[in-house]
Amino acid sequence: MERIGNFINNAVVFDDNARLAPVFNPAEGAQIADVELSSEATTVAAVEAAANALEGWSATPAVVRARVLFKFKALVEENRNELAELIVRQHGKVFSDAQGEITRGLEVVEFACGIPHAQKGEHSLNVGRGVDSHSMMQPVGVCAGITPFNFPVMVPMWMFPIALACGNTFVLKPSEKNPAPAMFLANLLQEAGLPEGVFNVVNGDKTSVDVLLSHPAIEAVSFVGSTPIAEYIYSTASQNGKRCQALGGAKNHLVAMPDADPDQVVNALMGAAYGSAGERCMAISVAVCVGDETADKIVSRLTDAAKSLKVGPGIGQEVEPDMGPLISGVHREKVLGYIDQGVSEGATLVVDGRDLKVAGHENGYFVGPTLFDNVTTDMRIYNEEIFGPVLSVVRVNNLEEAIRLANDHEFGNGTAIFTQSGRAARQYQEKVKVGMVGVNVPIPVPMAFHCFGGWKRSAFGPLNMHGPDGVRFFTRMKTVTSRWPESSQMQAEFSMPTMK
């Protein structure tokens, strides 16, 4: 059985006394590896390695740091098929989706390669007579990233490329459910020429997380995961004097207006609700249909489309399926429990994915596409994040009701409106209290040079992921005001200094 350790000081490190956790192939329901759950001592060793490397790396010219990332980008592209296969084996998503995840991660690397420009400060000449001011964007220090299972490559690459480009060192704690992709990336960074200790991977559970949240050498913590954990990460890191960005859960609404093309809406919903088995923080899990006629058209088409959706293992098939398994048996049972709950609460179960069996993969963690109609706002399946292939249809009378639904929900990650009316689209994007909005775009994930982040209980902290906010998060601003007078011109001033 393969044993997955840690990556510290550019070397794979094993701890014979570490606790072990099983790593499964979700399509098979079979264990394929053991991962070490690092002790406090091992986690501290990773932090100390990053702290020891900080002075040298932060003093490295930005253009040299960018060249390492350019090389890393090329290596990822050269090895992307192998990396995608690792994602499929340990996460379960289909191969093309794994490839797409890598591409979106690489877009952040490309953005980070422009750090010599993005990290430039500002300068003002003669803010007073003979007085100049300029700002410097300096590295924060040792940074930590704690990332989820659903994007084992993309989400880490939302964090560490920008952190490294800005001159910080980094400790990554990936999900223990699929740790191999992070180790693969660490080896590519080493091959790209990253010095020892600049990037480290520590596999583990809450023990490792708590070390990262409390260790005095850690200056910044970046997190993506569920809202309860995001809140814990943010509050604990903040109490320990660290800056923190923590992205949490979601319940993303797609509003279908009466003038929207129903076929376009259904195609959008199929990919956004059932892609990656719904294990995306930007998945659409609520379709808000304005008017019963709109709802009837969409539900009818969704029913046929969902029933014809192909489900199976993400690799090794002659024809790639549309959707793979869920991450674990435990999570599968949780999703099945939500479907049972929706039935007991009175929602109309239009398509039932509970009894799906995939031939040759009967032990896999599969749940078929599931569709509920007549869902109301007092139901758990509406209020809670299911993180599975379950789509709920809510019927409303007008756009104002649709906006109120999204605004009243505790989450505010992503949303979309499908319409041919520019007026309706403008009203929705202006009034909806959600961080990312799509207009005829079902999953409005911003490009790397913009920022990713939600509102309300979908995000904690003032700065979002990647884009300009990413650079701001991983740097500290220092402002210098300077004057070079003749010595005879210097006089004591006892009032508040002003520029004359």
CB neighbours of residue 309 within 10 Å: 16
Which three-class secondary structure state does DSSP give residue 81?
helix
Contacts of 412 (CB under 8 A, 6+ apart): 406, 433, 434, 435, 454, 455, 456, 457, 458
The domain that contains 112 carries what CATH number? 3.40.605.10
To which residue do tokens 């402002």 refer? Answer: 479
Residue 383: inside a domain:
yes
Both 368 and 232 in a single domain?
no
Both 413 and 433 in a single domain?
yes
Residue 353: inside a domain:
yes
Residue 494: inside a domain:
no
Nearest to 202 by CA among 390, 37, 369: 37
Both 257 and 200 in a single domain?
no
pLDDT average per 10 residues of sequence, the chain (500 residues):
96 92 97 97 97 98 98 98 98 97 98 95 92 96 98 98 98 98 98 98 97 98 98 98 98 98 98 97 97 98 97 91 97 98 98 95 97 98 98 98 98 98 98 98 95 97 96 97 80 70
Determine contact, residues 416/260, Cβ cutoff 8 Å. Answer: no
Listed residues 407, 439, 471: the one ending a domain? 439
Q: What is the pLDDT of residue 489?
A: 63
Please give the residue range of the domain that contains residue 280.
252-439
Which three-class secondary structure state does DSSP give residue 102?
helix
Both 241 and 99 in a single domain?
yes
Residue 492: inside a domain:
no
Both 174 and 314 in a single domain?
no
Q: What is the pLDDT of residue 316?
A: 84
Helix (H) or strand (E) holding 224: strand 218-224
Both 97 and 223 in a single domain?
yes
Both 219 and 308 in a single domain?
no
Strands (E), 225-307: 243-247, 252-256, 284-290
Per DSSP, helices labelled H in 321-451 are: 329-344, 380-383, 399-408, 422-431
Both 301 and 434 in a single domain?
yes
Per DSSP, helices labelled H in 308-364 are: 329-344
Residue 495: inside a domain:
no
Residue 497: inside a domain:
no
Determine contact, residues 410/433, Cβ cutoff 8 Å. Answer: no
Q: What is the pLDDT of residue 82?
A: 98
Residue 173: inside a domain:
yes
Active site residues: 281
Both 76 and 144 in a single domain?
yes
The domain that contains 405 carries what CATH number? 3.40.309.10
Both 272 and 415 in a single domain?
yes
| First CA to last CA distance, the chain | 74
Both 383 and 278 in a single domain?
yes
Q: What is the pLDDT of residue 419?
A: 98
Residue 449: inside a domain:
no
Our count of domains for the chain comes to 2
Both 240 and 273 in a single domain?
no
| Coarse DSSP helix, strand, coil percentages of the chain, rounded to the nearest 5 percent | 40, 25, 35
